[in-house]
């Protein structure tokens, strides 16, 4: 078949979106006559639409063009919908302005193509007539007002779980309790905190807090602020109406606030709690094994401590070094039970305390909090690996790393990818759980949520333990946990050998444990090296398996250890 001779066929849409252009022209004229400040917005939209060569199917598709905001896109959709409802063809139909260059084109091909395009032109003319016929009706339509381009100024409504929302809820709760109309700031904060995710009390260096929303509520007329030495606040009639509307919506929504501030009940279902906060789901974690040991049974020589179901409290223990100045870090959670103690390992853990005898058992959860700058410093000075080793040896099954952002993670001592890689290794190799937060307030909220979920997890469960290492579902007492985790405790030869090996470059905890499982002491390793020649000694430790994947220790680490203990 011979190729077609002649010029290249050109198919160009001069007006690919006629309805949208009609709408923008009408809006431009209205804005020009009224001299409104929407005129630059419409001009920019008209300019970008005229340069776009393809047809757009809806107003939402126009969002990719410059000058089209959400309101303008919605207005275009209304315009097209009205035109279509009046039997107008789709705005994507080809128009008579399309240019087709048929010069020097074969007559047979030209005839077929012209016949096809003539049919299209007839339809377009019908569409144009329909547009012109209904133009006056569309121009008079209230929907096409250019004031819809920007959001309308409607009734102010506080966002769910915001500071303003919490203040209105707190004032409404005090209003229902028949308390005097005027209440102080402290009274409002005490009641309102449970309805808000942000803190009402922040450091003096922080400008914004949840209480900052009070100024807007006063300005909008929802709250009256009294003048005088002792400033007090009260709801207006408008504020009471808004607060009741918000309360009705609050009752139908599930949130972490409700879950944290309600007392644990048997019918609490953590699956119904909103997961927008991305909290740890304890249901997905390994549960404790069933405890079949009776309180009369004795493990080794230590008496068993038995805590009957629903006869103990779950208490959060906070290391004294985590105390944030003189400010009470958890004042926002009045129902949270916590204590400050000296923890020898980790920063946070939980205990179950008997309400009568005050006997305490440590739950198998422990958290190490790391701010990003502290994480970088601990990696450089070697504390990071030493802390992970002690956390693995503490006897608690579930170890968390609570990683907190710092100054947008710009100045954290090490490159951010290096820190993220270290955390990924901690998660994969060490089996620790990593949780990220944006601020100290979010960290406190995470701990409060964990405490609440542990209360639900251990509801109707009996616990028992002793002053010994946990095994077969048994827990250990707090005193034994703290004594066994002391950093300066007397170490065995093997434990000291492990700590010595960890100082070597490329040595991990798993590799050190693999080496010490075969060679318990440095002397036994030296003896093995003496019985080998130089080549065999350098590769003596290479085939040893470590970790869950049974990987080899490798020749590099083996050679490093060999050079440390020999004179070669």
Structure confidence by residue, pLDDT tens digits, 351-368: 999 999 999 999 999 999
User: What distance, in Å, lies between the first and last C-alpha atoms of the chain?
Assistant: 82
pLDDT in tens, 120-143: 333 333 444 444 344 444 344 444
C-alpha to C-alpha distance for 135 and 406, rounded to whole angstroms? 59
Residue 123 confidence (pLDDT): 38
Predicted confidence at residue 247, as pLDDT, reads: 87
pLDDT at 147 over 50: no
**CA angle, residues 144, 147, 150, in degrees to nearest 5:** 115
Do 304 and 297 meet the contact criterion of CB atoms below 8 Å apart? yes
Q: What size, in residues, is the chain?
A: 568
- Give the chain's mean pLDDT: 76
Provide φ and ψ at 529, rounded to 5°. -65, -35
The alpha helices in 292-415, defined as continuous H runs, are 372-381, 383-392
pLDDT at 331: 65
Pairing, β 475-477 against β 463-466: parallel
pLDDT on residue 68: 87
* Gyration radius (Cα) of the chain, Å: 36
Residue 118's pLDDT is 33
| Segment 515-520 mean pLDDT | 94
pLDDT digits (tens, 9 = 90+) for 81-107: 777 776 544 444 444 333 333 333 333
Residue 161 in this model has a pLDDT that exceeds 60: yes
Structural contact between residues 157 and 243, judged by C-beta atoms closer than 8 angstroms = no
- pLDDT, one tens digit per residue, over 301-324 is 678 899 998 899 999 999 988 765
What local confidence, expressed as pLDDT, does residue 434 receive? 93
Domains and CATH numbers, the chain: 18-86 (1.10.150.110), 163-249 (1.10.10.10), 304-485 (3.40.50.10130), 493-566 (1.10.150.670)
For residue range 184-204, what is the model confidence (pLDDT) as tens digits?
888 888 888 778 777 776 655
pLDDT tens-digit series, residues 36-67:
777 888 888 888 888 888 888 888 888 888 88
How does pLDDT run across 238-274, given as a tens digit for each residue? Answer: 888 888 888 888 777 655 555 445 544 444 443 444 4
CB distance 541 to 553 below 8 Å: yes
**Average pLDDT estimate for 472-484:** 88
Percentage of the chain with pLDDT > 90? 20
């Amino acid at each position: 078949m011979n190729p077609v001779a002649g010029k290249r066929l050109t198919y160009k849409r001069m007006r690919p979106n006629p309805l949208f252009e009609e709408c923008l022209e009408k809006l431009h004229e209205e804005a020009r006559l009224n001299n409104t400040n929407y005129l630059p917005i419409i001009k920019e939209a008209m300019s970008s639409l005229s340069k776009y060569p393809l047809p757009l199917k809806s107003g939402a598709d126009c969002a990719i063009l410059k000058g089209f905001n959400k309101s303008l896109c919605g207005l275009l959709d209304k315009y097209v919908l009205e035109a279509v409802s009046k039997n107008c063809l789709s705005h994507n139909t080809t128009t008579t302005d399309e240019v087709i260059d048929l010069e020097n084109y074969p007559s047979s091909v030209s005839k077929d193509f012209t016949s096809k395009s003539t049919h299209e032109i007839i339809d377009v003319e019908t569409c144009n007539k329909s547009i012109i016929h209904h133009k006056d009706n569309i121009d008079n339509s209230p929907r096409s007002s250019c004031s819809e381009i920007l959001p309308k100024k409607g009734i102010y409504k506080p966002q769910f779980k915001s500071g303003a929302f919490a203040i209105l809820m707190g004032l409404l709760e005090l209003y229902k309790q028949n308390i005097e109309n005027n209440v102080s700031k402290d009274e409002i904060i005490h009641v309102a905190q449970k309805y808000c995710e942000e803190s009402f009390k922040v450091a003096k260096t922080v400008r914004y807090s949840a209480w900052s929303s009070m100024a807007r509520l006063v300005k909008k007329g929802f709250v009256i602020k009294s003048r005088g030495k002792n400033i007090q606040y009260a709801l207006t009639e408008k504020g009471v109406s808004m607060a009741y509307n918000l309360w009705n919506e609050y009752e139908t929504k599930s949130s972490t606030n409700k879950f944290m501030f309600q007392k644990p009940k048997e019918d609490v279902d953590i699956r119904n709690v909103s997961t927008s906060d991305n909290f740890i789901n304890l249901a997905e974690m390994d549960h404790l094994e069933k405890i079949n040991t009776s309180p009369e049974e004795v493990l080794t020589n230590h008496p068993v401590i038995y805590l009957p179901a629903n006869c103990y409290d779950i208490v959060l223990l906070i290391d004294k070094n985590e105390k944030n100045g003189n400010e009470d870090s958890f004042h926002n959670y009045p129902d949270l039970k916590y204590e400050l103690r000296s923890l020898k390992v980790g920063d946070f853990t939980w205990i179950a305390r008997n309400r009568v005898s005050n006997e305490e058992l440590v739950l198998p959860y422990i958290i190490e909090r790391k701010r990003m700058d502290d994480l970088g410093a601990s990696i450089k000075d070697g504390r990071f690996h030493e802390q992970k080793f002690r956390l693995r040896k503490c006897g608690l099954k579930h170890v968390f790393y609570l990683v907190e952002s710092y100054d947008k993670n710009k100045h954290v001592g090490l490159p951010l990818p290096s820190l993220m890689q270290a955390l990924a290794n901690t998660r994969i190799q060490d089996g620790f759980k990593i949780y990220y937060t944006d601020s100290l307030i979010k960290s406190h909220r995470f701990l409060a949520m964990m405490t609440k979920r542990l209360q639900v997890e251990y509801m109707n469960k009996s616990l028992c333990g002793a002053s010994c290492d946990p095994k077969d579902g048994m827990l250990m007492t707090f005193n034994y946990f703290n004594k066994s985790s002391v950093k300066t405790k007397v170490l065995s030869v093997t434990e000291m050998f492990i700590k010595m090996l960890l100082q070597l470059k490329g040595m991990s905890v798993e590799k050190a444990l693999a080496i010490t499982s075969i060679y318990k002491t440095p002397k036994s390793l030296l003896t093995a090296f003496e019985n080998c020649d130089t080549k065999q000694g350098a590769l003596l430790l290479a085939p040893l398996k470590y970790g869950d994947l049974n990987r080899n220790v490798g020749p590099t680490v083996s050679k490093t250890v060999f050079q440390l203990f020999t004179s070669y």
